[in-house]
Structure 1
Amino acid sequence: MPTLTIQPLTREAFAPFGEVIMLEGARHYPINQGTTERFHALATADTHAMDGKTILSVFRGQPRSMPLAITVMERHPLGSQAFVPMTVQPDDEYLVVVAPPGDFDENSMQAFLCKGFQGVNYARGVWHHPLIALHRVSDFVVMDRIGEGFNCDEVTLDGRWVVG
């Protein structure tokens, strides 16, 4: 049974799949007469194909048990999709499993361990596993696309690949 190695989430390692949303290393500057620090342009919404609109939702993920068999992957061909955890606790971890856009290749999957202060923005067309909360019920602000056109492709896998 093939196992995906879990690697830490970094901007460099995740770059082929999208953007990491976190404050460390981000451009920032004071605003509002110095009472607020703005961390600027952490991610870009790519949602305007076929007159789509950017929306914000909250997803509540139930914790998953490890090891987890990978049985489904999905992609959004008409827009990016961002997940930002609603916590700042580093121990509120979650996993992302991704594969490059294009024809799905299970041998190209990668797994990343994300801390509670890190979000991800999947680029348009990037294959990813549905939300994988780990230790507790976890809420995420999700930025994605609403509009005309079919925006979710899924592939079903046999579960021989596992993570964790």
Structure 2
Amino acid sequence: MSNLVIIAKVLTAEDFAPFGDVLEVDGPPDKIINQGMCGRHHDLARLDFSEGRAGISLFDAKARTLPHTVDMVERHPDGSQAFIPVDGVPMLVVVADDADGEPVNLKAFVSQPGQSINLHRGTWHGVLAPLGGPGRYMVVDRIGDGANLEEHWFPAPYVVEAPES
């Protein structure tokens, strides 16, 4: 079987909306706080957890390159999952629609400076894949008992290629 090719796109809130939230500053702050010294861009992501609690973890991820092979995707049925770059390294974000428990219609996005993502609960997605160098990411997700991970391995891998210029 030959590889299936996906051309990555630049990450935009509109294109990513079916899978999650793009967290980025877009316009003036919603509130000015701290005696006028700080602007708050309020409530940018829909955190959604079943039983358990929100936790913040720090992930150190090795660099990936394009083209990038995707042989597996995963999802978290009990909670959303946000990825916030600490050191500004962009990431490749692979997501898929769900068809009766199976990932279909894979899409790939490349984050831009200042962007973070929040994957909706149950969204099929690829592994954390920093581009251009290793990356450190703050991750906000569900901490609790029970399995919160489903994996799907593809019979033939997908290959993500760089966005068209």
Query: Which of 86, 100, 103 lines up with 2:101 in the alignment?
Result: 103
d(CA) in 1 for partners of 2:95, 2:28: 23
- 1:63: how far off? 0.4
Secondary structure of the 2:117 match is: strand
d(CA) in 1 for partners of 2:28, 2:94: 24
Report the residue type matching 1:76 in the other structure: H
- 1:16: how far off? 0.2
Matched, 1:35 2:37: yes
| Length, aligned pairs only | 158
Matched, 1:139 2:136: yes
Contact 2:57/2:138 (<8 A) preserved = yes
d(CA) in 2 for partners of 1:123, 1:18: 5
Runs of 5+ consecutive residues of structure 2 not aligned to the other structure: none
- 1:87: how far off? 3.1
TM-score by length of 1: 0.90
d(CA) in 2 for partners of 1:86, 1:105: 29
Q: Which residue of 1 aligns with 2:73?
A: 73
Q: Percent identity over the alignment?
A: 37
Contact 1:74/1:128 (<8 A) preserved = yes
- 1:159: how far off? 4.5
d(CA) in 2 for partners of 1:159, 1:26: 46
Q: Per the alignment, do residues 25 and 3 of structure 1 end up closer, same or farther by CA in structure 2, a change over 3 Å counting?
A: farther
Q: Which residue of 2 aligns with 1:112?
A: 109
Structure that is richer in strand per residue? 2
Report the residue type matching 2:76 in the other structure: H
Contact 1:70/1:159 (<8 A) preserved = no
Contact 1:87/1:116 (<8 A) preserved = no
d(CA) in 2 for partners of 1:104, 1:26: 40
Runs of 5+ consecutive residues of structure 1 not aligned to the other structure: none
- 1:149: how far off? 2.0
Matched, 1:54 2:54: yes
- 1:116: how far off? 3.1
RMSD of the TM alignment (CA)?
1.5
d(CA) in 2 for partners of 1:3, 1:25: 35
- 1:28: how far off? 2.2
